[in-house]
C-alpha cells in the first residue's frame, strides 16, 4: 500500500505576482524552497485562503532572496487578487 503524506507546508504566503501567459507552475524564491525542503519540479498543492480553491502544480525556482511567490499560467488567472495562499508538498 502507498500512502501520500504532507512533506512540507508554507503557510499564508502572499503572492507577489502572476504571469498568466506562462505555461504553468508556481515560482518560489530559492531560499524559501530550501527552508521548506522543496525541489525544482516538485508537485505542490496551492490553496487560496480567500475562496478555498486548491490547485496542483509544480515548483520552479526564482532568484534567491527575491521573495518571489508567483503563480504562472492558467492558475494565475484565478489569483489576480494576490490572495494569501498555502503551499503544501506531498511525499510518498
Rounded to 5°, angle at Cα 10 from 6 and 13: 145
22 is catalytic: no
66 is catalytic: no
Q: Which of 22, 58, 66, 86 is catalytic?
A: 58
Task: Using the structure block, give the residue that is written with the C-alpha cell 492558475.
Answer: 75
Phi, psi of 33 (to 5 degrees): -60, -45
Ranges of H-type helices in the chain = 30-36, 74-77
Catalytically active residues are: 25, 58
Amino acid at each position: 500500500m502507498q500512502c501520500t503524506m504532507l512533506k512540507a507546508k508554507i503557510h499564508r504566503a502572499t503572492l507577489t505576482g502572476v504571469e498568466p501567459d506562462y505555461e504553468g507552475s508556481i515560482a518560489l524564491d530559492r531560499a524559501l524552497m530550501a527552508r521548506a525542503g522543496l525541489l525544482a519540479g516538485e508537485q505542490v498543492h496551492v490553496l487560496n485562503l480567500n475562496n478555498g480553491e486548491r490547485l496542483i502544480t509544480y515548483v520552479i525556482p526564482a532568484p534567491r532572496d527575491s521573495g518571489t511567490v508567483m503563480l504562472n499560467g492558467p492558475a494565475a488567472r484565478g489569483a489576480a487578487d494576490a490572495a494569501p495562499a498555502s503551499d503544501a508538498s506531498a511525499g510518498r
